């Protein structure tokens, strides 16, 4: 599939990227837009050079932790399943260990370890602020969207192949990790809602359609690029982002969180 067509197809699958598909109501009512519209359709694929495989990782190692019954969300059935998962303990230099729970469909502890070793170094390249609440990772086969929330990152491996083809798997995981580590404290907070209203605009159409569920995650990826890898954005992208959401940028600036890339 040509890269442009693949990009459009994958962008369409990002809807409902967390494991909750219902947009909660905004207690303050709809945001009154004062701009001509969001500058981007979605931001997870905007900057594939933001984080790359050559960047350092805080991942330090993985050990086989045996098998165990685990409840996991599986996009292929769009629901929760309880499996005797292969378990891998992944460690990081700057935070707690993560339990990687691998679907038994992979067939062996060795195959499960290979999957953990594929993704744990990528997770270790994300900013610490996005990994604060990640405690588990679920890995299944399937060409289904990733997910965040539930102190977890959800991965489907055939979908990961497509993200890898675009060079965007790190940015997708950054988006999902924002759901995991930022949404609970910020997505419906008074400060974030005030920033939304002050901006009168959204970074992306996807955030505009899901202002409570997706706005934080859609804003954080270009924010990371703007503050820590500005060369990964074009001049036009940088200007459009700064014009669309200056109050949200200031909100992130004021949190005192570790958004720096490793």
For the segment 13-62, what is each residue's pLDDT rounded down to a tens digit?
A: 554 445 555 566 666 677 888 999 999 999 999 999 899 999 999 999 99
Task: Tell which residue, 259, 171, 197, 234, has the closest CA to residue 34.
Answer: 197
Average pLDDT on 164-169 reads: 95
Give the number of other CB atoms < 10 A from CB of residue 203. 27
Side-chain half-sphere CA neighbours of 97 within 13 A: 14
The confidence score (pLDDT) of residue 98 equals 98
For residue 75, is pLDDT > 90? Answer: yes
Q: For residues 128 and 144, what is the distance between their CA atoms, to the nearest angstrom?
A: 26
The confidence score (pLDDT) of residue 131 equals 97
Please, which pLDDT band fits residue 262 given cuts at 50, 70 and 90? Answer: confident
Q: What is the DSSP string of 62-81?
A: EEEEEEEEEEEEETTTTEEE
The confidence score (pLDDT) of residue 32 equals 85
- Listed in sequence order, the residues at least 6 apart from 197 whose beta carbon sits closer than 8 Å to its beta carbon are 28, 31, 32
Rg (CA), the chain: 18
For residue 172, is pLDDT > 70? Answer: yes
- Report residue 257: phi and psi, to 5°: -90, 160
262 versus 60: which is more confidently predicted?
Answer: 60
**Bridge partner list, 80:** 73
Compute the residue count for the chain: 262
The confidence score (pLDDT) of residue 114 equals 98
Sheet holding 152-156, edge to edge: 59-74, 79-92, 95-102, 136-140, 152-156, 147-149
* Contact assessment for residue 197 and residue 32, using Cβ atoms and an 8 Å cutoff: yes
Weakest mean pLDDT among 23-37, 128-142, 200-214, 229-243: 23-37
Quote the pTM value: 0.91
Average pLDDT on 230-241 reads: 97
């Amino acid at each position: 599939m040509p890269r442009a067509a693949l990009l459009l197809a994958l962008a369409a699958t990002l809807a409902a990227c967390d494991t909750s598909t219902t947009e909660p109501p905004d207690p303050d009512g709809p945001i009154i837009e004062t701009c001509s519209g969001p500058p981007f359709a979605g931001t997870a694929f905007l900057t594939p050079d933001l984080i790359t495989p050559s960047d350092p990782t805080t991942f330090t190692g993985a050990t086989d932790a045996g098998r165990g019954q685990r409840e996991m969300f599986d996009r292929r059935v769009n629901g929760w399943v309880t499996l005797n998962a292969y378990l891998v303990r992944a460690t990081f230099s700057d935070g707690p260990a993560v339990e990687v729970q691998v679907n038994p469909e992979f067939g062996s502890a060795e195959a499960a370890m290979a999957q953990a070793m594929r993704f744990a170094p990528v997770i270790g390249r994300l900013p610490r602020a996005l990994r604060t609440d990640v405690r588990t990772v679920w890995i299944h086969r399937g060409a289904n969207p990733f997910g965040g929330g539930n102190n977890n990152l959800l991965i489907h491996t055939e979908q990961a192949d497509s993200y890898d083809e675009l060079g965007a798997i790190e940015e997708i995981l950054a988006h999902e990790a924002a759901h995991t580590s930022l949404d609970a404290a910020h997505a419906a907070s008074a400060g974030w809602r005030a920033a939304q209203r002050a901006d009168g605009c959204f970074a992306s159409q996807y955030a505009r359609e899901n202002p409570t569920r997706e706005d934080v995650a859609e804003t954080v990826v270009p924010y990371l690029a703007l503050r820590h890898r500005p060369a990964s954005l074009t001049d036009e992208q940088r200007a459009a982002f700064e014009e669309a959401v200056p109050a949200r940028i200031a909100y992130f600036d004021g949190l005192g969180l570790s958004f720096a890339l490793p």
